[in-house]
Structure 1
Amino acid sequence: MSTPRVAVTGIGVMAPGGVGRQAFWDMMTAGRTATRRITFFDPSDFRCQVAAEIDFDPAKMGLTPQEVRRMDRAAQLAVLATREAVQDSGLALADLNPTRTAVTVGNAVGCTMGLETEYTVVSDGGRKWIVDHEYAVPEMYDYFAPSSLAREVAWATGAEGPASVVSSGCTSGIDALGYAANLIREGTADIVIAGSTDAPISPITVACFDAIRATSTFNDTPESACRPFDGNRRGLILGEGAAMFVLESAESARRRGAPIYCEIAGYATRANGFHMTGLKPDGREMAEAIRLSMDQARLNPEDIHYVNAHGSGTKQNDRHETAAVKASLGQHAYKTPMSSIKSMVGHSLGAIGSIEVAACALAVKHNVVPPTANLTTRDPECDLDYVPMIAREHRTDAALSVGSGFGGFQSAILVVDPEAVPA
C-alpha cells in the first residue's frame, strides 16, 4: 500500500496589510511593508516602537458578539483564517466524517493579549500584588490554556478527530503542518485543518524582546525597520497573524475535483542543544533538516527553485541561515532565489511559519517569488540571491521554507507542484 501524497486544497490568511489570501498575495508581490508604529498601546517607553499589526473588524468578518467576547485575538485570527481556507477548499463540512477530521494549530505564546488585558484588570493596573480574581472574566482559564486555540478551530469546523496544539517557538507553524501531513500519510485522518496563529503584540512581549535586544531600533522609519540580509539590519520586528490550510490526500482531492495548490512533500526538524537564543554560525542543524526534508520528498538540491527564508533580520540569524542553505544545497544555493517576507509582515512568532508556507504555496501556484523588502545594502557575509525589493517571475516547482526558533529549533518543509514533481 503506497503512502498517500498530501495535498493543500484550501488556504486562509490573516496577515498585516493583507486580510485574506488574495490581499496577502497582492501585498507580497507588490513588495509593500505593513510595519508601523505600534498602535495597540503607547510604545514610547520601549526600545522598539514598531510592529506589524492587522487591521480587521471581527464582527464585520462574521464573528458573533459571543465569539468576539470569548476568544482571544489569536483564536479570532485562527478561526477567521480557517473559515477562508475551508471555503476555498470547496469542502462541505456537513458531509465530512467528523471523527476523521483533525485539527492541528501551531502557536508560540498562547493567548498573550487576553492574559495581559485581564491581568491589568485583576491587579488594578499592576498596583495590587495579590490580585482579585472576582474581576476576572469567565474566559480566563481559556487564556491560560493554549489548547483552547485548537478547540475553537475544531468547534468552527465540527472536527471530532485528533486536535492538538504544536508549540515549538518560532518553528511552530512549520511543525504543525509537518505533523498534520503525517496524520494524512499514516491514515489517522482524511482531512486536517492545520496552520498556526499568534497575536503577541503586547507590552510584555515587546519588553521581553527589548531585554535581549533582538528587535530593530529604526523607530523613525517604521516602514523599513525590518531589513533581513541587509548590511545595516538591526533586528526583527514583531508581527501577528494566522494562516490555516485544508490538507487531504491527493487522491481525495482528485476524486472530488478540488484544485490543488501544492503538495507537502517533505518535512524535518532538528534541535541544536546549544543556547536559548544563540546560534552556531555553521547552521549545521538547519542544514540537516533541509537535507532530510529533501530526502523525504526524493528531491535533489537542483530541484529546489525557491527558498523562503526565516530571515528575521538579526545579524546572527541571517548569517546562520545563509550558511545552512549553502551547506545543504551546495553550489545550487547560489542559483536559487531566496527571500524573507518578514521584511513586509514582521515576525509573528508561532504563526509566521504557516504564513510563510502560504507564500510558498502561492509562489508554486503563480510561479512568482516574493521579494525581500528593504534590502538595499550588501552584507558580504550574506552573499546569496535574496530577491531584493521587487517580486520575480520564476519557475517554482518546488519551494523550501525554513524556520529557526529560540531554544535551538530548526525546521524545514518542502511544497511542490504535483504536476511538475511526479511521485
Structure 2
Amino acid sequence: MKNPIYIKDYNFVGPVRNFIDFQERHAFSLKQDVWTAPLDQEFESKLMDLRESSPQYASLDRSVQLALLAARGIEVSDAATGVNIGSSRGATGLWEAAFSRFRESGTVPTDTSPLTTLGNISSWVAQDLQLEGACLSHSITCATGSHAILNAIAWLASSMSPCFLVGGSEAPLTEFTIAQMRAMRIYARNQEDFPCKAMDPNKRDNSMILGEAAAMFLLTKAEDNPLAKIIGYGTAIEALKSPTSVSAKGNCLRDSMTRALGPYDPTTVDAIVTHAPGTIKGDRAELAAVQSVFGEQHPQLCNNKWILGHSLGASSSLNLAMALEMLKKGSIFKLPYLENALVNPRGDQRIPKRIMVNATGFGGNAVSLLIEKA
C-alpha cells in the first residue's frame, strides 16, 4: 500500500470482554452434548436493555442487535462516515422462525422481508448513529469482515468517503445452523479441557465450535492519534474442489499473505492471527501456507477460536480486534495446548509491532491484512 489506512477506534461484543483474561481458559458452554460460545453475560444484559428500549429494536434479528451494541461503543463524529457491516448468514434467527411459521400456517409476519434482508445490519447501524454516508453490506462467508475493510480502503483511497465504520456481525447459535455444521462432520464432539483445538496439526478429530459476536472498526486516511495502521493487504481465491474449498497446501492463504506482505521483510512480522477454525484440513492447510510464505522460522502463531468459537462472518473482525489488543498490551497471546516449538519456532519473546491477520471461508476466498502499531 502506498498510503496506509488508519484504525481510529474499535469495539466488539462476544463471548469474552477482552482476550487477555482468556489466555488459559475458554468461554464455551456445553448443553445437551453441544458446545457453543454464547454472548458474555454483561453483553447479554446490555442487549436486553437495547431490546427493551424500543419495540423497533426488539423486532430486529439478533445479528443486527449485536451490531448495534458493538457500533455504539465507537465514537463517530463525522456524519458523512460510511458503513459496511457484513454477515455470513445474516438474520438467521428471524429467517428460521418465519420459515417455521410458514411451514405450519402458510403465512409469515408482515415485516419478514425487510427484517431478514442482509443490508438490514448496516442500515440500522447508520440509522442508530445518525450517519449520512454510503451504507452497504455484503456476505463473503467467513472472510466477510476483512472484505468490508478492503471495500472501505477503496472508498477512502478514492476520497469518496472521509471515514468508514466496518466490521462483521453473526448470531449463528440456532439449531438449524449448528445442524449444518454437524452434518459436515466438522463440529466438536470431545468433552475435554480444550474442546476446540484450533491450529493443532496433530488433532484426530475436527473441533470447530460456533460462537456469536460483532466487531467494528473506524477507518480513516487521516493520521490523527490512531490505534494502528493497515500497511498491506492481499486477497486470493482457489478453484472449487470440495465443499469447503481448502487445498492441502492452503494456496489461497499462501497467496493472500504473500500479497499482504508485499515489500516488507518476512522477519519483521512478529505474529500471525490465524483463521484456523479447528478443523483438521483447514488448520493443517493454513500451517502449510504459513510455512510456504515465512519458512520454518515463521512468526508466532495466535488464534482465538479455541477461546470463543467460530463466529463465521464476524470471525475475521475478531481476529483484527485480537491483534489490536496484542499491540496495545505489548504481548503476543499464546496457544496453551500447543508446544512452543510449533507456535513460536523463532523462540524469542517479541513485543509485537507488526501483525498479519488471516481470514478464509467457503468458496476458497482468503484475505490477509498486515497491521502495524501507530
Q: TM-score, normalised by structure 2?
A: 0.91
Residues 166 and 172 of structure 1 are in contact (CA less than 8 Å); yes or no, is this contact kept in structure 2? yes
Q: How many residues align?
A: 365
4+ residue runs of structure 1 moved beyond 4 angstroms?
Answer: none
Say whether residues 1:225 and 2:176 are aligned partners: no
Q: For 1:268, give the aligned amino acid.
A: G
Say whether residues 1:14 and 2:28 are aligned partners: no
Q: Higher mean Cα deviation, 397-406 or 60-69?
A: 60-69
Take 2:284 and 2:146, find their aligned partners in 1: how far apart are those partners?
A: 21
CA gap 1:268/1:323 in 2 versus in 1, 3 angstroms: same
Partner of 2:25: 32
Say whether residues 1:49 and 2:38 are aligned partners: no
Gaps of 5+ in 1: 39-43, 254-258, 419-423
CA gap 1:158/1:140 in 2 versus in 1, 3 angstroms: same
Say whether residues 1:413 and 2:369 are aligned partners: yes
Helix, strand or coil: the match of 1:224? coil
Residues 181 and 264 of structure 1 are in contact (CA less than 8 Å); yes or no, is this contact kept in structure 2? no
Gaps of 5+ in 2: none
Percent identical among aligned pairs is 22
Helix, strand or coil: the match of 1:60? helix
Q: How does 1:349-360 map to 2 (within 5 A)?
A: 349-360=312-323
Partner of 1:116: 96
Partner of 2:306: 343
Q: For 2:271, give the aligned amino acid.
A: Y
1:287 Cα shift?
Answer: 0.8
Partner of 1:141: 113
Q: 1:65 aligns with which of 54, 63, 69?
A: 54
Partner of 1:41: none
Q: How does 1:151-230 map to 2 (within 5 A)?
A: 151-218=123-190, 220-221=191-192, 224-230=194-200
Residues 50 and 58 of structure 2 are in contact (CA less than 8 Å); yes or no, is this contact kept in structure 1? no
1:61 Cα shift?
Answer: 5.5
Q: For 2:218, give the aligned amino acid.
A: V
Say whether residues 1:271 and 2:237 are aligned partners: yes
Take 1:406 and 1:306, find their aligned partners in 2: how far apart are those partners?
A: 25
1:36 Cα shift?
Answer: 1.0
Q: Deviations over 1:270-297 (max 9, x none)?
A: 11012321421112221111111111xx
Say whether residues 1:234 and 2:206 are aligned partners: yes
Q: For 1:272, give the aligned amino acid.
A: E
Take 2:350 and 2:212, find their aligned partners in 1: how far apart are those partners?
A: 29
CA gap 1:193/1:344 in 2 versus in 1, 3 angstroms: same
Take 2:171 and 2:344, find their aligned partners in 1: how far apart are those partners?
A: 28
CA gap 1:122/1:65 in 2 versus in 1, 3 angstroms: farther
Residues 3 and 231 of structure 2 are in contact (CA less than 8 Å); yes or no, is this contact kept in structure 1? no
Take 1:402 and 1:118, find their aligned partners in 2: how far apart are those partners?
A: 35
Residues 301 and 332 of structure 1 are in contact (CA less than 8 Å); yes or no, is this contact kept in structure 2? no
1:324 Cα shift?
Answer: 0.6
RMSD: 2.3
Residues 59 and 68 of structure 1 are in contact (CA less than 8 Å); yes or no, is this contact kept in structure 2? no
1:70 Cα shift?
Answer: 2.5
Q: TM-score, normalised by structure 1?
A: 0.81
Residues 88 and 313 of structure 2 are in contact (CA less than 8 Å); yes or no, is this contact kept in structure 1? yes
Partner of 1:316: 281
1:176 Cα shift?
Answer: 1.1
Take 2:139 and 2:254, find their aligned partners in 1: how far apart are those partners?
A: 22
Q: 1:303 aligns with which of 268, 271, 276?
A: 268
